[in-house]
Amino acid sequence: MAADRPWLKHYPDGVAAEVDLGQYASIVAVIDESCRRFASRPAYGNFGKTLTYVEIDRLSAQFAGYLAGTLGLVKGDRIAIMLPNLLQYPVALFGALRAGLVVVNTNPLYTARELEHQLKDSGAKAIVVLENFAGVLQQVLARTDVRHVVVTSMGEMLGALKGTLVDLVVRHVKKLVPAWHIDGTVTLRQALALGDTQPRPQVVLGHDDVAFLQYTGGTTGVAKGAMLSHGNMVANMLQARTWIGSVLHEGEEVIITALPLYHIFSLTANCFTFLMAGGHSYLITNPRDMPGFVKELRKLRFTAITGVNTLFNGLLNTPGFSALDFSQLRMTLGGGMAVQRAVAERWEKTTGCTLVEAYGLTETSPAVCINPLDLPAYNGSIGLPVPSTDVCIQDESGALLPAGEAGELCVKGPQVMMGYWNRPDETAKVIDAAGWLHTGDIARMDAAGFFYIVDRKKDMILVSGFNVYPNEIEDVMAACPGVLEVAAVGVPDEKSGEVVKLFVVRKDRALTVEQVLDYARQNLTGYKRPHYIEFRDSLPKTNVGKILRRELRDSRKA
């Protein structure tokens, strides 16, 4: 670790500089302990149905028995899980880990091309898939190593009556299940029944065993599988658990899980860290249905919520949200993309809870920095490095930069991935000889050790030799009256090389281009001001709500 770690002086009370990585040998050890300690407590909820820790323990043990005993899968085999936030997800996940398998989290919204790449690249031998997406799997299955397909329905774990009604609506009213046919599939219920006749697998797991292949586009090129070990994941759980300990009431938390569990932020923060603390994670299957989301929240006295900027912004602009009961809300954690000041300040005003920003990557399991949870107000920072973690700012030559100067943010710590699956060349591009992971993010550190993301290297706009960072432009312009969402990109310009183009989703349909430009003139220096404004009904986003600037650049009309 670096000798100079100024952030340690500003750690919250009770947070140590290091975590004890030897507390748990594997994720399975965490699962076992929590299921034992919090047996009768609610563990996961969805559509009004709750599974307790003892029920999750039993069901996941049955699924582990099916994978190992019935299918004969062995430690290190890969299994894909292609599910949205449903109760089936933790059952399948914990069962796979208990069988010693490597989990390949798979976005249910993948196209056939994307799905085929991930299944072939990972060498997955089995998959658990929601029937809604089985048609996509059918298109590619024959060209992969997948030989075992477990299919589930939206209602399969909701009980006989409710589950039947849900499936009826999904299949026949909303018509969300396209026709599909795959020979030899079993339902999850059938798999659990078969697994119940098998002994629970006794697999020895350690920190160096791979737990996940978590696919990420990285900075460039085709999606790569970040190898996250049991040690990586346990380290990050302990780091996050230690950090939030001051506000955590063990065995009493109710956390809203709207980001998909197949995304690393939600996986570690919601699924595992709150599991470690005996929390009740309430799963939101379709957070894009904001009125439905708010209706679910109305039934819960929730204590914590995680999300991305667009999710918080969407909730704030949904009728009925401001009238919810926020009396128990103690933690709001934002990550995945930059939190905008306008959104954070409105969130705090509406809920009475500070929106605390964190920072991480798929390659770091994911948490690198988190702001203190007792932050009185949004500060524009991504926070302080979590325990047992070093962070530095380097220039293009790899030299360390002093406080205040912007350069590439680099990370060292036990949560940093083992490397990219079967891609030593790509691994070498991001992890240097000294062990630093190069994130591709431009950041600076202040004298107190707080870090501030300036922008992604690849998103930086060069205007007449001046660096312009889209995050800054978006943060300023999001506060413009009448604006709902904004995204800034660079477009070619003969005189200055590039200029800023701003894409705007209006909250007030009467908002004009001239009003937006006038606001920019008042709040941004000349070279940072947008030269072009394009109004849109919506902005392209990833599955977790991160705005896709790349798509906007590719579709520019300036």
Within a 13 Å sphere around the CA of 250, how many CA atoms are in the beta-carbon half? 9
- The structure's pTM equals 0.88
The per-residue pLDDT for 4 is 83
How far apart are the C-alpha atoms of 329 and 254, rounded to whole Å?
9
Q: Over the stretch 414-448, which tens digit does the pLDDT of each residue have?
A: 999 999 999 999 999 999 999 999 999 999 999 99
Q: Are 261 and 128 in contact (CB under 8 A)?
A: no
Read out DSSP for 60-71? HHHHHHIIIIIS
pLDDT digits (tens, 9 = 90+) for 36-66: 999 999 999 999 999 999 999 999 999 999 9
Q: How far apart are CA 265 and CA 257, in angstroms?
A: 10
Work out the number of other CB atoms within 10 angstroms of the CB of residue 203.
18
Predicted local distance difference test score (pLDDT) of residue 56: 98
β pairing state of 102-105 and 78-82: parallel
| pLDDT per position as a tens digit, 258-296 | 999 999 999 999 999 999 999 999 999 999 999 999 999
> Which residue shows structure tokens 């349909």?
509
3-state secondary structure of 509: coil
Alpha-carbon Rg for the chain, nearest whole angstrom, is 23
Least confident of 330-334, 376-380, 419-423, 491-495: 491-495
The answer to whether the peptide bond before residue 199 is cis (omega within 30 degrees of 0) is no
* Closest by CA position to 101, among listed 120, 127, 73: 73
Of all residues in the chain, what percent are helix, strand and coil, respectively (each to 5)?
Answer: 35, 25, 40
List Cβ neighbours of 295 (8 Å cut-off, separation of 6 or more). 320
Q: What is the pLDDT of residue 558?
A: 41
Q: What tens digit of pLDDT does each residue of 131-185 get?
A: 999 999 999 999 999 999 999 999 999 999 999 999 999 999 999 999 999 999 9
Q: What is the 3-state secondary structure (H, E, C) of 135-190?
A: HHHHHHHHHCCCCEEEEECCCCCCCHHHHHHHHHHHHHHCCCCCCCCCCCCEEHHH
Nearest to 461 by CA among 556, 328, 536: 556
Identify whether the C-beta of residue 189 lies closer than 8 Å to the C-beta of residue 222.
no
Fold: same for 53-205 and 460-554: no
Q: In the prediction, which pLDDT does 1 show?
A: 40
> Could you read off the pLDDT of 465-495 as tens digits, one per residue?
777 889 889 999 999 999 999 999 999 988 8
Average pLDDT for residues 542-555, to the nearest whole number? 87
Closest by CA position to 306, among listed 336, 345, 286, 278: 336
Mean pLDDT along residues 238-260: 95
Amino acid making up residue 140: V
The DSSP call for residue 263 is S
Percent of the chain residues past pLDDT 70, beyond the cut: 98
Residue 383 gets which letter from DSSP?
A: B
Q: CA–CA separation, 328 vs 303, rounded Å?
A: 5
Nearest-5° angle of CA 232, CA 74, CA 92? 65
Percent of the chain whose pLDDT exceeds 90: 86
Residue type, 381: S
Q: How far apart are CA 339 and CA 378, in angstroms?
A: 9
Which helix (H) or strand (E) segment holds residue 439: the answer is strand 437-445
- CATH class of the 53-205 domain in this structure: alpha beta
Print burial letters for 278-299: b (CB count within 10 Å at least 16), e (below 16): bbbbbbbbebeebeebbebbee
Distance, first Cα to last Cα, the chain: 48
Task: Beginning with the edge strand found earlier in the chain, give each strand of the sheet holding 390-394 in spatial order.
Answer: 390-394, 407-412, 437-445, 451-456
pLDDT for 218 equals 43
Strand partners, 224: 216
Give the pLDDT confidence of 69-79 residue by residue, as tens digits.
Answer: 999 999 999 99
Average pLDDT, the chain: 94
Q: Which residues pair with 452 in a beta bridge?
A: 444
Residue-range domain boundaries for the chain = 53-205, 460-554
pLDDT digits over 402-412, tens only? 999 999 999 99
Handedness of CA 296, 297, 299, 304 (dihedral sign): positive
* Alpha carbons 228 and 214: distance in angstroms, whole number: 7
Q: What pLDDT band is residue 337 in, cutting at 50, 70 and 90?
A: confident
Strand residues in 494-540 grouped as ranges (E) = 497-506, 530-535
- Asked if residue 82 lies in contact with residue 114, where contact means CB atoms within 8 angstroms, the answer is no
Q: What are phi and psi of 488, to 5 degrees?
A: -115, 135
Residue 62 contacts residue 70 (beta carbons within 8 Å): no
Q: What local confidence, expressed as pLDDT, does residue 217 receive?
A: 67
Q: Are 273 and 116 in contact (CB under 8 A)?
A: no
Report d(CA 138, CA 112) in Å as an integer: 9
We find that the CATH architecture of domain 460-554 is 2-Layer Sandwich (3.30)
In sequence order, what DSSP letters do the residues of 6-53 get, joined into one string?
Answer: GGGGGPPTT--SS--GGG-SSHHHHHHHHHHHTTTSEEEEETTEEEEH
221-225, 295-299, 390-394 — which is least confidently predicted? 221-225
Q: What sign does the dihedral 152-154-157-159 (CA atoms) show?
A: negative
In DSSP notation, 50-111 reads EEEHHHHHHHHHHHHHIIIIIS---TT-EEEEE--SSTHHHHHHHHHHHTTPEEEE--TT--
Dihedral (CA of 416, 418, 420, 421) sign:
negative
What are 77's two structure tokens? 């085999």
Residue 282 confidence (pLDDT): 98
Decide if pLDDT at 220 tops 70.
no
pLDDT, residue 153, reads 98
pLDDT confidence of 556, banded at 50, 70, 90? Answer: low
CA distance readout (Å), 500 to 340, 512, 538: 19, 18, 19
Structure tokens belonging to residue 259: 């980001």
